[in-house]
Copies of this chain bind each other. A is one copy, B any other.
């Protein structure tokens, strides 16, 4: 039995929801920096890099700054993270390689199995703040089976700007109510809901590491609240 039979496409947040950015960036940073003699809390370094990335999207969203890709924001904000950890010896080639580490993140253990189940019934579509090339590179390396990728470079702004959710409806030629946004971030889902999309919250307690778990949303706050993509696939029905 299929629940939500009216849902034709699932649109997914990528960073945190589909892939473990913290684990991936910790690994990439260690691979680059440990051979140069640095010993850091690699997870803390990942968090210190992610925070200014989130902040760097705001002026684009408010149109104080022209659109730049997430790849470009990764390179820019790397300098902030390196500064915070007093690392001054990386050359431009190394910095570029490390910034491109955001293209080499791994999915959560349940991601691919769940997506493959969901893909049989509906379109599974990235609706990401990442640019298409970034999300595509990540997918090719990790085997993430997107039906198609809608990157922020199509609309040239960032979630939770309403234009992103509206573009999904327009580009997929579906009513907003035929689309379900899947994310581990209440802000993303609330913005999607305000544009008429249905919402699925996936709990990713380890997104920022141990001890930073956010509470589960209240029952009824989103259409679906689950702990994994496989549970989401079961909830939506085979």
Contact mask A149-163 → B, CB, 8 Å, 1/0?
Answer: 101011000000000
How far, in Å, is A102 (CB) from chain B's closest CB? 13
Stretch binding the partner chain, chosen from A77-85, A104-112, A131-139, A225-233: A131-139
Cα A69 to Cα B171 with chains together (Å) = 10
| Residue from B133, B136, B146, B171 in contact with A132 in the complex, judged by beta carbons closer than 8 Å | B171
Closest partner residue, chain B, to A134 (CB atom): B173
Contacts of A131 in B (CB 8 A): 171, 173
Specify how many copies of this chain sit in the oligomer. Answer: 2
Is A172 an interface residue, CB under 8 A from the partner?
A: yes
Contacts of A134 in B (CB 8 A): 173
Is A90 an interface residue, CB under 8 A from the partner?
A: no
Q: Which of A147-201 contact B (CB under 8 A)?
A: 147-149, 151, 153-154, 171-174
Once A71-B173, A153-B171, A173-B71 are accepted as A-B contacts, the answer to whether A136 and B140 lie under 8 Å apart by CB is no
Given contacts A131-B171, A131-B173, A132-B148, 15 further A-B contacts (CB under 8 A): A69-B173, A71-B173, A123-B140, A132-B172, A133-B171, A133-B172, A133-B174, A136-B147, A136-B148, A136-B172, A139-B147, A146-B147, A147-B149, A148-B148, A148-B149
CB pairs A–B below 8 angstroms (28 shown): A69-B173, A71-B173, A123-B136, A123-B140, A131-B171, A131-B173, A132-B148, A132-B171, A132-B172, A132-B173, A133-B171, A133-B172, A133-B173, A133-B174, A134-B173, A136-B147, A136-B148, A136-B172, A139-B147, A140-B147, A146-B147, A146-B148, A147-B149, A148-B148, A148-B149, A151-B171, A153-B171, A154-B154
